[in-house]
Structure 1
């Protein structure tokens, strides 16, 4: 596993996932993101690292389309445009919850090294993905 930092795109698996998105036809990209999220959500058994890393990257792509969301990684994220992924917010939240729930290999690996920084990144994505209460929505002038 090649991992160089705690961000959602800071590993080989996520970079490859983004490359696959770029290689896919534009009409297939949302389905690829959705499939990565569902694979993790539907796994009640031991969750392997590669599936988790793809799901975290997919959730980060969804978050990038949300108000106040961090932009996708400019170096390792997809280069080709993605459709509006905000309809996948709930799936992205569920996938991140699953990655953060045992049995999860990625969770175990991060518990051994820089776990608090990685968890903070995941919590930031989760916060971005939560719908904003009506009173807290930004008003455009």
Structure 2
């Protein structure tokens, strides 16, 4: 796992995903990442789980509750906030389904469960979920 912290963007897969998303910020790429997690058959693989959490962060940002990750705020948040992606109840629900799938049945969850930082990771994901449900 190319991971250096518990945040949604503190891994290579999420940074790769957001970089690609920001090249063409649109509804299709966002939904694809969320659906890949929410509707995955079997155990959700770690790269897809990391991308789904990054996509859920985009939903939170579009709802006015962005991450405080300095790299994302500086490099990507201006692009994200200019994206004209409507965030209604359906997209929010999809983001929540993806988050719930990551923490319930994913390779990423299994990897974090083996580490001492598991509680911190669960807390980060719970905070993300809360920002999707109740933005500021």
TM-score by length of 2: 0.83
Hey, what's the Cα distance between the residues in 1 that align with 2:52 and 2:22?
17
The structure whose RCO (Cα within 8 Å, separation 6+) is larger is 2
Larger Rg: 1
For residues 42-121 of structure 1, the aligned pairs below 5 Å read 42-67=39-64, 69-71=65-67, 73-76=69-72, 78=76, 80=79, 81-87=82-88, 88-102=91-105, 104-113=106-115, 114-121=117-124
Residue in 2 that maps onto 1:35: 32
State the shift of 1:74 in Å: 4.2
Residue in 2 that maps onto 1:2: 2
RMSD across aligned positions (CA): 2.1
State the shift of 1:85 in Å: 4.9
Hey, what's the Cα distance between the residues in 1 that align with 2:22 and 2:68?
13
SS at 2:37 equivalent:
helix
Hey, what's the Cα distance between the residues in 1 that align with 2:28 and 2:52?
13
Residue in 1 that maps onto 2:17: 17
TM-score by length of 1: 0.80
Aligned length: 128
Structure 2: runs of 5+ lacking an equivalent = none
Residue in 2 that maps onto 1:135: none
- 1:63-100 CA distances to partner (integer Å, 9 max, x unpaired)? 11224x13464424636343345222111000000111
SS at 1:5 equivalent:
coil
- Dislocated runs of 4+, deviation >4 Å: none
Q: Tell me which protein shows more helix as a share of its residues.
A: 2
